[in-house]
Chain A
């Protein structure tokens, strides 16, 4: 950072001026200092921890000692049924959540963008409101709305002659998806709507002149033009879903079938704070981080390729 300044042809920043090197240090210093402390060092420490395992010595009186175990924790994590099935849970959750959430957000954005919509600002505001609710509070509210005796929703279903158990093994996945969809549809709708606003009006008018209906304009003109916004949303959603913790944690208290290690983060939390197996927790953390990182990298790549095509 304190390196001498290099001359560039672009000329946006005049170079070689005294004080610029120092300025760069002052501007970037705090960020990279904290970046190292909060990101690099913890990851390095977790990596180191993941190679060791605690073994209680003798009869358990002498406390524990830390023993190098190589990749032992990784094979232990990958061989742990709780860990592998937590990924399957999240995959099943993604298969329902992502199409529902992105589909609904896109549909709403296109509807609000269409000339027919009324009270556009009000609709946007109302749909966005759930995002102002902390995720955990949202999960609490919905858990209560799923609870017999407390829930008006269940009253409605019963009044209509139906029956539903939101915590039953077969219905807990949609219950969980609903919490997240409620939180994120509006947020992503605003992103898509902002992207739609940037679509040049002449292009849409040309479509109208050619006799395309509103639906065709939406699907064949508007949608392709906001592709990059959709990919970016997909990226953030994927990275978010891999880390899902609070919502399933809350629901699992009511839905016994979920177990206490339903999601990878729940597995990690349990490994660290119930089993006190930091080696296992560290290796599982790094595996999850790798999955999330790879996922977001891949989606970014695909998104970029889509742009240039």
Chain B
């Protein structure tokens, strides 16, 4: 990129037929001897190379650990330690997979189902709740609206992980600790989702359409369900994806709330296996292959729903 800063310097009068610079000479020097147009082009070529080299390094850095995970999941325990990280050993992926799903009466399958339950059910409900609230803040006028929205904004300042211990204390008082509810209920509240939903509602749902529907005699709830909700679908998908990710990744909540291994989500289950590796190194294979399996659903969700998280990111950030 640095060569790009040069062009503002006055061009030197290069004598015609000046000797071509030696191969590998610095581009800036090369540029000095050429007429302005060519000079800019060769500078651009060099910076293009630098830009793309940096991007390549970034891509290698981000993909390296995932590639390692993928390869490691195909190896036997002996090859895991005996062969180089990026070399294949004996192909044992399906054996590893069988070991993961077979361990402890197939508890890993149950963990995955739990993760799905927490993520899908929790996110559907939480997205709908946030969307309704955000839509309401956008489209209706009512007393105390400013104060209530202020409360929502204050809620966004409350850090989610920090609030988990108070939630645990209250949940144990109410007696729902170590149940599905203790993980599901906290996931339903997303103040930032309400803020986002309000932004989406402003952008996607024109007031005139609602007016027209009301004149036709539709009730407020009907207007929401049949007209606004379909228009808000991209917003709904965005909220869903965000909260799905948050639930799938949630570790501290289940760690605090759950004792019973049968209620664990996959991430907490894998953590409990990882606790064993120092004592029982054969758990390395289980953790590695289990991690790969736990990553796949989320990766698929991201690939499939790319345009929604993109719109969500920009709605949240560019405002």
Identify which of B158, B207, B319 contacts A13 (C-beta below 8 A).
B207
Contact B143 A3 (CB under 8 A): yes
Check if B61 is an interface residue, CB within 8 A of chain A.
yes
Name which of B17-25, B79-87, B97-105, B231-239 contacts chain A. Answer: B79-87
Known contacts A216-B5, A265-B162, A296-B157, A111 near B55 by CB under 8 Å: yes
Q: Compute how far the CA of A293 lies from the CA of B189 in the bound complex, rounded to whole angstroms.
A: 17
In the complex, how many angstroms separate the beta carbon of B117 from the nearest chain A beta carbon? 16
**Does B302 belong to the interface (CB within 8 Å)?**
yes
B170→A41 contact, CB < 8 A: yes
CA distance A128 to B301 in the complex (A): 13
Q: Which residues of B contact A275 (CB under 8 A)?
A: none
Contact B85 A182 (CB under 8 A): no
- Which residues of chain A are within 8 angstroms of B263 by Cβ–Cβ distance? none
Task: Identify A144's interface contact among B133, B288, B314, CB under 8 A.
Answer: B288
A1 touches B157 (CB 8 A): no
Q: Is B199 an interface residue when CB atoms closer than 8 A count as contact?
A: no
On whether the beta carbons of B66 and A133 are closer than 8 Å, the reply is yes
State which of A5, A23, A107, A141 has its C-beta within 8 Å of the C-beta of B68.
A141
Q: How far is the CB of A25 from chain B (nearest CB, A)?
A: 9
Cβ contact within 8 Å between A134 and B47: no
Q: Does B69 contact A (CB under 8 A)?
A: yes
Residues of A contacting B132 in the complex (Cβ-Cβ under 8 angstroms)? 26-28, 30-31
Please report the C-alpha to C-alpha distance between residue A154 and residue B51 in the assembled complex, in whole angstroms: 28
Please state if B66 and A129 are interface contacts (CB–CB under 8 Å): yes
Interface contact B51-A134, CB-CB below 8 Å: no
List residues 132-190 of chain A with CB under 8 A from any CB of chain B: 132-138, 140-142, 144-145, 149-153, 155, 182, 185-187, 190
Given contacts A28-B133, A31-B129, A141-B68, contact A23 B160 (CB under 8 A): no
B103 to chain A minimum Cβ distance, whole angstroms, is: 17
Determine if B318 and A229 form an interchain contact, defined as CB atoms under 8 angstroms apart: yes
**Does B280 interact with chain A (Cβ within 8 Å)?**
no
- Nearest-neighbor residue (CB-CB) of A26 within chain B: B221
Chain B: CB-nearest residue to A187: B313
Chain B nearest CB from A128 CB (Å) reads 7
Residues of B near any A CB (own CB < 8 A): 1-2, 4-8, 44, 47-48, 51-52, 54-55, 58-59, 61-63, 65-66, 68-69, 72, 80-81, 84-86, 129-130, 132-133, 135-137, 139-144, 148, 151-152, 155-163, 165-170, 173, 185-186, 188-189, 191, 194, 207, 211, 214, 219-221, 224, 245, 248-249, 251-252, 256, 267, 270-271, 274-275, 278, 284, 287-288, 291, 294-295, 298-299, 301-302, 306, 310, 313-314, 316-319
A interface residue numbers (CB < 8 A to B): 1, 3-8, 10, 12-15, 17, 19-24, 26-28, 30-32, 34-35, 37-39, 41-43, 45-46, 49, 104, 107-108, 111-112, 114, 116-118, 122-123, 125-138, 140-142, 144-145, 149-153, 155, 182, 185-187, 190-191, 194-195, 198, 211-216, 228-229, 232-233, 239, 242-243, 245-246, 250, 253, 265, 268-269, 272-273, 278, 281-282, 285, 288-289, 292-293, 296-297
Q: Which 8 A-B pairs have the closest CB atoms?
A: A152-B85, A23-B220, A27-B136, A42-B166, A46-B166, A3-B143, A194-B314, A31-B133
Q: List 17 A-B contacts (CB under 8 A).
A: A13-B140, A13-B141, A23-B221, A23-B224, A30-B132, A104-B58, A107-B54, A117-B51, A118-B55, A132-B299, A133-B295, A144-B288, A213-B5, A213-B8, A232-B317, A233-B317, A245-B161
